[in-house]
């Protein structure tokens, strides 16, 4: 699709609890999302069960969020990025926070007030998944009027976009230079958010796009060694491998003689519980217990280069209609998806 000169812009993200009291509602919204938790059950039944599970998980999550300042910075960071991109483009840039229902009414009112011919939608998820970008597209289909839906023009993903790749490469270089670390000393541990293996069997392209980003980023970092693993698994099913937590326990097997192990949160454009708690307080200590020096490279976050990159990606990417990003529900794939290996169906 061709971009119109009469365009508004929309940045979409997960959203995260801004304070401890918001955690239960955030988790309820997340765990009752049928693009994230795919039970195949009727929506009403899934909602009842996972509202109960969300409330139980909230008790544990409160302690975790308390350790990172009492809330997630992802809401404030997304708002800051939108304002900065707006100044860069000299255009209005709205935001949508998928799992913060208290923000949805104001968002709907802002969308209905737009008079532009097109609304360019930029996901803060570089690699496409039906569980992230696709979930938001489905929410729009279910809640926005037809007139507004027809205006939406999505940037599906940008896993190999030169500006996205350069942002990561430059952030890593700067991080290492500040610490005077050389390729001979450093092993780069790229950690991406995990996804159930079954999602990939049913057509989700997330794994392949993560691998693309990993290869492109590492290719521009001459002489550095690295690996890609997947974190944040929950439940008993098979997820994308290798698992970050398991790889951390086996650092002596893959470090290739490097003393410094640097985590790169490759799929996280904003800091959230996965980077500030999981990586910082769960994974890094495991690495250090084995005698290594462990670091975390910051997420792209509020970096000026990243904000400029977003503006450029908005103007240099192919655009898709909202309906093209929505998963069409179908029966589950074969039972092999639950094991360590998957069929190629």
Position 101 scores a pLDDT of: 98
CA separation for the pair 342, 138 (Å, rounded):
27
Q: Which two tokens stand for residue 63?
A: 């302690």
How crowded is residue 41: how many other Cβ atoms within 10 Å of its Cβ? 14
Sign of dihedral through CA atoms 267, 126, 310, 12?
A: negative
Q: What is the pLDDT of residues 192-229, one digit of tens each?
A: 999 999 999 999 999 999 999 999 999 999 999 999 99
Virtual torsion, Cα 168, 170, 171, 173, nearest 10 deg: 120
For residue 119, the surrounding DSSP H or E stretch is: strand 118-123
How crowded is residue 197: how many other Cβ atoms within 10 Å of its Cβ? 23
Which value, in Å, is the radius of gyration of the alpha carbons in the chain?
20
Q: Which two tokens stand for residue 131?
A: 């569980």
Position 345 scores a pLDDT of: 38
Please tell me whether the peptide bond between 247 and the residue prior to it is cis, using omega within 30 degrees of 0.
no
Q: What is the pLDDT of residues 220-260, one digit of tens each?
A: 999 999 999 999 999 889 999 999 999 999 999 999 999 99
Angle at the Cα of 30 from the Cα atoms of 68 and 20, rounded to 5 degrees: 35
Angle at the Cα of 210 from the Cα atoms of 276 and 172, rounded to 5 degrees: 55
CA separation for the pair 151, 119 (Å, rounded):
6
How crowded is residue 79: how many other Cβ atoms within 10 Å of its Cβ? 15
Q: What's this model's pTM, rounded to 2 decimal places?
A: 0.94
The reply to whether 7-158+304-325 and 162-296 are identical in fold is: yes
The pLDDT of residue 164 is above 80:
yes
The pLDDT of residue 325 is above 60:
yes
CATH number of the 162-296 domain = 3.40.50.1400
First-to-last CA distance in the chain?
A: 31
Sign of dihedral through CA atoms 48, 50, 53, 55?
A: negative
How crowded is residue 178: how many other Cβ atoms within 10 Å of its Cβ? 8
Position 329 scores a pLDDT of: 73
Q: What is the pLDDT of residues 258-301, one digit of tens each?
A: 999 999 999 999 999 999 999 999 999 999 999 999 999 999 99
Position 332 scores a pLDDT of: 55
Position 335 scores a pLDDT of: 52
Angle at the Cα of 137 from the Cα atoms of 135 and 139, rounded to 5 degrees: 70
Position 58 confidence tier, pLDDT thresholds 50, 70, 90: very high
Q: In whole numbers, what is the pLDDT of the chain averaged over residues? A: 95
Each domain of the chain, given as residue ranges in start order, spans 7-158+304-325, 162-296
Correct CATH for 7-158+304-325 of 3.30.70.3270, 3.40.50.1400, 3.40.50.720, 3.30.565.10: 3.40.50.1400
The pLDDT of residue 344 is above 50:
no
Q: Which two tokens stand for residue 109?
A: 């009112």
CA separation for the pair 192, 272 (Å, rounded):
13
């Amino acid at each position: 699709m061709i971009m119109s000169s009469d365009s508004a812009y929309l940045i979409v993200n997960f959203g995260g609890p801004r304070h401890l009291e918001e955690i239960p509602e955030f988790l309820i919204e997340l765990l009752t999302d049928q693009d994230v938790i795919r039970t195949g059950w009727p929506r009403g039944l899934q909602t009842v069960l996972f509202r109960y599970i969300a409330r139980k998980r909230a008790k544990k999550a409160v302690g975790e969020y308390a350790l990172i300042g009492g809330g997630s910075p992802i809401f404030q960071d997304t708002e800051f990025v939108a304002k900065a991109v707006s100044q860069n483009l000299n255009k209005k840039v709205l935001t949508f926070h998928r799992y913060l229902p208290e923000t949805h009414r104001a968002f709907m009112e802002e969308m209905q007030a737009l008079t532009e011919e097109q609304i360019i939608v930029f996901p803060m998820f570089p690699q496409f998944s039906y569980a992230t970008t696709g979930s938001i597209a489905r929410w729009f289909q279910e809640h926005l009027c037809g007139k507004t839906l027809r205006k939406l023009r999505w940037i599906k993903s940008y896993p190999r976009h030169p500006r996205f790749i350069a942002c990561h490469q430059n952030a890593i270089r700067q991080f290492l230079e500040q610490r005077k670390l050389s390729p001979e000393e450093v092993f780069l541990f790229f950690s991406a958010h995990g996804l159930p293996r079954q999602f990939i069997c049913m057509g989700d392209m997330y794994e392949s796009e993560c691998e693309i980003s990993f290869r492109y980023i590492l290719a521009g970092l001459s002489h550095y060694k690295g690996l890609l693993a997947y974190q944040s698994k929950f439940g008993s099913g098979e997820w994308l491998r290798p698992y970050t937590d398991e790889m951390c326990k086996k650092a002596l097997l893959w470090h290739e003689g490097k003393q410094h192990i640097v985590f790169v949160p490759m799929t996280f454009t904003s800091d959230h519980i996965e980077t500030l708690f999981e990586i910082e307080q769960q994974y890094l200590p495991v690495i250090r217990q084995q005698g290594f020096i462990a670091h975390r490279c910051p997420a792209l976050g509020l970096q000026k280069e990243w904000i400029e990159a977003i503006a450029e990606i908005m103007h240099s990417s192919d655009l898709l209609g909202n309906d093209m990003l929505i998963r069409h529900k179908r029966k589950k794939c074969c039972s092999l998806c639950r094991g360590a290996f998957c069929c190629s169906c």
